Structure formats: structure tokens, C-alpha cells
Amino acid sequence: MNWISRQFPTRVIALMPVAIAINIVLGYTVQTVLKLPIYLDSIGTILVGVLAGPIAGALTGILSNIIWQYAPGIGGGSIGPFAVTAGVIGLLAGLWGYLGVYRPRPETGTRLYASAALAILIIALLAWRMYTIPAYGASGSGYPAWVYGAIIVIGIIAAIVVGAVVLVRKDAAGAWVAVAGALTGVVAAIVSAPIAAYLFEGVTGSGTDLIVAALRQGGADVMNASLGQGLFSDPIDKTITSFVVFLVLMSLSPRLIARFPLGERTVGDRTR
């Protein structure tokens, strides 16, 4: 019990409502308003998990979905049951926090360039998987043409930013963050698939429904179509989300970060 209670000091309890608000506002905007085939509803969850631990991260994710489900004006729909997935994302973020994935890793020379190349490659491959979905170019899909272009823009910007941060800051941690984000996305896809398939027949009301429809038209059953959609959308989404959290942490004072339960594992030698 002490291990759990240590994850909830006053500063973490104060951070959680802010993190939940970030999750809901960004998630609703991206999924419901813009209907992009990604989510961006886990930034707050991953931030809390990395700074405080897996239980705090999981609770932030679960509460985000439950509050979102019943929020006046934007609630309803299918977001509530995916609290299970949000909780798993928070658990993994806490694991990455314990492992020090977000800790600065100064490098130079070949290792630095290799780290930048690895991070860019991960982003590019995941974005390419999204770009090559034929359904985005199909007429009568019901989605605006700019959605297709948005995938390209998101992938290019993400790859450039990730590579630039690694090279400019001479910090190989960006590659570790990209790997952790991609792994989180794969796990999230596996957890989400049965929820989407059995509770909603694969139709959740977000921009990812188009991918499910395309896979079903190709002959996949609802379970495999839901899993396939998750494996298209979740890895790139969680990689981008994880790197956003990485940028946020780099912009904060090391002494402030160090006050959180896992802060010392995140800042490394930056407080010295």
C-alpha cells in the first residue's frame, strides 16, 4: 500500500485534473470535431504515469474516459468502455517512467545520428501505414479530402520534429521515447479491439471508423477489422503523444520535475 500511496502526493493529485482536461479537450477535438484517424487523448495520462507511476497513470486514464462519457455537451458515445484501454496506457507510462525512458541520454557522433535515424524511421513507417489505406482516397467515404493530406502533414512534421530534437539537443532519449510510444500503441490496439468489436460492432463514431469499414469491405470480420484499425492508428498516435510528453518534460524545470515520485528517474543529471 505504501507503494501506491507514494504515487499520490499533493502535487500529483493537483496535476491529475489538468491532465484529465487535456485528454478530454484534445481527444474530443481530434476525434469528434476533426475526425482524424488518430486520438491524441492520452497526453495527460502518459504525463502523469511517467512522473508519478503506473497506478496514478492508470487512474488518470480511466477517470478521463468516465468523465468524458458523462460530460454535458460532449459526453455519450462510445468513449466510456475504452477506459480499460486508457488505464493500460497509464500503466505502461508508469513502467516507462520507472525504466527512465524519458531520461536525457546525451550522445555525439555515430550514436547520436543513429538514434535520430531510428526515431525518424519509426515515425515514417507508422505514418506510411496510415497513408497507404486505400479507403482515404475512395469517393463517397463521407470524410473530407483534407483528412488524407493531414496524415501526410502529421507524419512529416512529427518526423522532422523528432529528428531535430534528437540532433539539436544531442539527446538520444528521443529514440527511446519513439520505441516506447510504438509499443504502447500496439498494446492499446490489442486491448481495444474486443471492446470495439463486441460492444460497438467496430463503429465508435471517430475518424478511425473509416479504417474499420475499409477492412471489412476487404473481407475481414469485425474483430479482425477492429484489431487492424487499432494497429494502423494506435502506434502512430501513441508515438506522437509520447513525444509531445517528452517535449513538455524538456520544457519544465528539472527541479520541478524532481519533486514528483518518479521525477529523479526522468530528469537524470539535469538537476546537478
Residues 243-264: tens digit of each pLDDT = 999 999 988 999 999 999 999 9
Maximum Cα–Cα distance across the chain? 58
Among the listed residues 63, 74, 62, 72, the one whose alpha carbon sits nearest the alpha carbon of residue 25: 74
Residue percentage of the chain with pLDDT more than 90 = 37
What tens digit of pLDDT does each residue of 170-227 get?
A: 888 888 999 999 999 999 999 998 888 888 777 776 666 667 776 777 677 788 778 8
Q: Inform me whether the pLDDT recorded for 142 exceeds 60.
A: no
The DSSP bridge partners found for residue 171 are: 106
Q: CA-based Rg of the chain, rounded to a whole angstrom?
A: 18
Amino acid sitting at position 157: I
Q: Inform me whether the pLDDT recorded for 100 exceeds 80.
A: yes
SS3 call for 103: coil
Say what the pTM is.
0.87
Q: Inform me whether the pLDDT recorded for 97 exceeds 70.
A: yes
> Residue 204: which residues within 8 A CB-CB, separation 6 or more?
77, 78, 82, 196
What tens digit of pLDDT does each residue of 24-41 get?
A: 999 888 877 777 777 889
Give residue 120's pLDDT band: very low, low, confident or very high (50, 70, 90): confident
Q: How many CA atoms lie within 13 A of 179 on its CB side?
A: 12
pLDDT score for 269: 64
Give residue 130's pLDDT band: very low, low, confident or very high (50, 70, 90): low
Give dist(CA 76, CA 61) in Å, integer.
17
Residues 163 and 178: beta-carbon distance below 8 Å: no
